Chains A and B, each alone.
Chain A
């Protein structure tokens, strides 16, 4: 197997990453004959048995199991339409909120969630034949109240989380803020003071800008320590 790229080299769509049949083509790549090529601009990575390109840009594609923050944009008779900043509008039904069906004649869905509400939910199902289906039946899935909403490129979310949560846990601990991260690029921050919330927001913006640099965790730790 011939590998043409160095680890974390920037590659462009159509660029040949490797040749041979040993590796599988992973995220951000495709196979053409015996070649693996990049589909997006990103950082090439050779993993154990696959070649992957970590994208630098791109829209959020829903994946079952992902935690997302969504915005209620429409209340229908027996379900809500939820904007999760994906190419597809998600749907939430009362069954997946409380586990019990709701009689639309007796209950106005707006009393549960109304247009403009933000919720934390998980993607229950998504495939080519249906829009993303959300569930809120797990612990910690809920409607959000107060706090602030921040938007970040979904491709940079892993950096905000950090290896095994190292980055986000450090931020949470030092600012004493509640932070909920949606894989879809929405982040909710709630702290005891607007200043501590603002600090988290600043950290998020810096991480987004410097996502693929070294020493970022240290710089963010410094940023937060200065002000707390």
Chain B
């Protein structure tokens, strides 16, 4: 891979500073936008560092083929795909095994939050398109997907937030980028439902001691709580004007909702 060859392992973390200038516990800059597509029932866009990811939600809606429908619940279908131009070397347009695995774990991260039983025999479809990738795309995807689901009015117990922790030069770092992912010693993506800190995604590859492992997932959850604040902000901003005028209405004492 080209991206790795620019740096040596030692350069990844020198004097507590990472290649992109961050400290060990610093997130990359994150930008979130809700309601960016006109046809989808819900949508969101995230930029996290150099990651650029678009998510659309359709549903609940009828499921075809019918034999996949479950009589007592909606099913959640997640499709995670990367654009051919999202990575350094053009990616083959056909879905890779990695994309299929990620589709599945992302579904596992989002499903526990959704009241699927409210919509038997239907499907809720989450489509994730990575336009540019730079490490941590599954976490960024989950963070955006959660907003897209809220935008679609899908009832949920909580939002879902995700963040990864890497290990670079023996040290744990929050929200690793692509270079740190590829050259580092471990990578642990985590997703939580923030209110009760219920973990809905947990993966690790690399090598960690038990202590490192525990410290790492706690660090990831803390990272998630930071990102959760940004998610709430993005949702509220969408309706800011609505809220302001609702408060004025309260003072006037009128309620026009029939």
Chain A residues in contact with chain B, CB under 8 A?
6-10, 12-14, 16, 28, 30, 32, 37, 39-41, 43, 54-59, 61, 87-89, 128-129, 155, 158-159, 161-167, 211-214, 216-217
Contact = CB atoms under 8 A, between A and B. Distances in A.
B144 interface: no
A158 B256 CA distance: 9
Nearest to B35: A57
Nearest to B240: A10
Nearest to A57: B153
Given A14-B194, A30-B155, A58-B152, 20 more contacts: A6-B250, A8-B246, A8-B249, A13-B157, A28-B155, A37-B195, A54-B257, A57-B153, A58-B155, A59-B60, A59-B152, A87-B61, A87-B119, A128-B72, A159-B256, A164-B258, A211-B242, A213-B241, A216-B256, A217-B256
B38 to A, nearest CB: 12
10 contacts: A13-B150, A13-B158, A13-B159, A30-B115, A40-B153, A40-B155, A40-B156, A54-B257, A59-B61, A59-B152
Please name the 10 residue pairs, one residue from A and one from B, whose CB atoms are nearest each other, closest first.
A58-B153, A14-B158, A57-B153, A39-B155, A214-B249, A213-B245, A87-B60, A87-B122, A13-B156, A8-B246
A76 B248 CA distance: 53
A13 B48 CA distance: 23
B59 A163 contact: no
A156 B211 CA distance: 52
A7 B249 CA distance: 10
B108 interface: no
Given A14-B193, A88-B122, A212 B258 contact: no
Nearest to A217: B256
Nearest to B118: A61
B218 interface: no
A40 B249 contact: no
A83 B113 CA distance: 29
A87 B159 contact: no
Contact of A214 (B121, B152, B254): B254
Contacts of B245: 212-214
What is the size category of the interface that chain B forms with chain A? 35 or more
Interface stretch (B4-12, B19-27, B135-143, B231-239): B231-239
Given A14-B195, A161-B258, A59 B72 contact: no
B89 interface: no
B205 interface: no
B226 interface: no
Contacts of B41: 57, 59
B117 to A, nearest CB: 9
Contacts of B235: 12, 41
A211 B242 CA distance: 8
Contacts of B232: 12
B181 interface: no
A58 B150 CA distance: 9
B257 to A, nearest CB: 5
Interface centre among A7, A16, A212 (most CB of B within 10 A): A212
Contacts of B243: 9-10
Interface centre among A30, A41, A159 (most CB of B within 10 A): A41
B215 interface: no
Contacts of B60: 59, 87
A202 B157 CA distance: 37
A155 B157 contact: no
Interface in B103-122: 113, 115, 119-122
A39 B155 CA distance: 5
